[in-house]
């Protein structure tokens, strides 16, 4: 195989998760390698494409890589692989015999090995997200933020609108980030300050 194709295959192996599955597009962008090398690996049977987003599985993954069942974390794409290529073998995770309850660790999915920590961090971040309605800003907070950043939004109108709606936007969604809402209003308001009759315009929500 051409050197570039071999390099691409090598990086796929490095970035694959415990089931040999990897999102190939970021790797192609990182290496700056032509897509012909990707197509060659598919044609030669070294990899198989799971979906149109170029998520692939390394065909002979288990022949060259092994992982203990009590350390294995299922890929988030495993159901897709089992549905599309049921003939491909995979390791079923099992709890350690010396651990009473290992179920929490086993249920954490991963896209690839380096990202397992990201999964944990995202869960922590998600648990910290709170509704604006639980701790709403004052009108002065809003006006100060608008003035400090030179946003083209009327702070009094903005405050009144979301206070009356209990921080629910026109689509019925709870507001999690009032500052982001101000940015959205400002971007949608290119021709002047947001007026009262424009509050329910979807572009401001």
What is the residue-averaged pLDDT of the chain?
79
* 41 belongs to a structural domain: yes
Q: Cα 120 vs. chain centroid, distance in angstroms? A: 13
Residue 106, pLDDT > 60, answer: no
> If you compute the radius of gyration of the chain from its CA atoms, what whole number of angstroms results?
25
Residue 192: pLDDT over 90 = no
Of 102, 120, 87, 114, nearest to 17 by C-alpha is 114
Question: Residue 37 falls within a domain, yes or no?
Answer: yes
The range of the structural domain enclosing residue 96 comes to 3-117
55-68 confidence digits (pLDDT tens): 999 999 888 787 88
Report pLDDT for 159.
92
Helix residue spans in 44-177 (DSSP H): 61-64, 78-84, 103-106, 116-128, 139-149, 155-164
Q: Which of 111-115, 132-136, 184-188 has the highest mean pLDDT?
A: 184-188
pLDDT, residue 191, reads: 46
SS3 (DSSP) at 78:
helix
pLDDT tens-digit readout, 9-26: 999 999 999 888 999 989
Is pLDDT at 202 greater than 60 in this prediction?
Answer: no
Q: Are residues 112 and 16 in the same domain?
A: yes
Same domain, 101 and 171: no
- Locate 113 and state its tokens: 């090995």
In this structure, the answer to whether residues 9 and 108 fall within a common structural domain is: yes
Same domain, 30 and 111: yes
Is residue 6 pLDDT above 90, yes or no? yes
Q: Does the pLDDT value for residue 161 go beyond 80?
A: yes
What mean pLDDT comes out for the span 175-190?
82
- Whether the per-residue pLDDT at 190 is higher than 80: the answer is no
Per-residue pLDDT at 127: 46
Which among 126, 120, 107, 109 is positioned nearest to 75, based on CA atoms? 109
Domain assignment of residue 123, yes or no = no
Whether residue 93 sits in one domain with residue 32: yes
Q: Are residues 74 and 14 in the same domain?
A: yes
User: What does the pLDDT look like over 24-83, one tens digit per residue?
Assistant: 989 999 999 899 999 999 999 999 999 888 899 999 988 878 788 888 888 899 888 889
Residue 168 pLDDT class (50, 70, 90 cuts): confident
Give SS3 for 47.
Answer: strand
Q: How many domains does one find in the chain?
A: 2
């Amino acid at each position: 195989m051409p050197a570039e194709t071999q390099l691409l295959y090598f990086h796929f192996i490095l970035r694959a998760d415990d089931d040999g599955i990897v999102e190939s597009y970021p790797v192609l962008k990182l290496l700056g390698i032509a897509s012909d090398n990707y197509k060659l690996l598919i044609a030669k049977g070294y990899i198989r494409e799971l979906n149109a987003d170029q998520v692939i599985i390394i065909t002979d993954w288990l022949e060259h890589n092994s992982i203990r069942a009590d350390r294995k974390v299922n890929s988030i794409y495993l159901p897709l692989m089992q549905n599309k290529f049921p003939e491909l073998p995979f390791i079923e995770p099992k709890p350690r015999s010396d651990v009473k309850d290992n179920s929490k660790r086993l249920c954490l999915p991963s896209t690839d090995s380096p990202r397992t920590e990201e999964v944990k961090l995202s869960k922590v971040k998600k648990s910290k997200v709170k509704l604006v309605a639980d701790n709403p800003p004052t009108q002065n907070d809003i006006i100060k933020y608008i003035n400090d950043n030179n946003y083209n939004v009327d702070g009094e109108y903005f405050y009144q609108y979301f206070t009356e709606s209990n921080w629910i936007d026109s689509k019925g969604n709870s507001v999690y980030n009032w500052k982001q809402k101000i940015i959205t209003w400002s971007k949608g308001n290119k021709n002047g300050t947001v007026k009262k009759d424009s509050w329910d315009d979807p572009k401001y929500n």
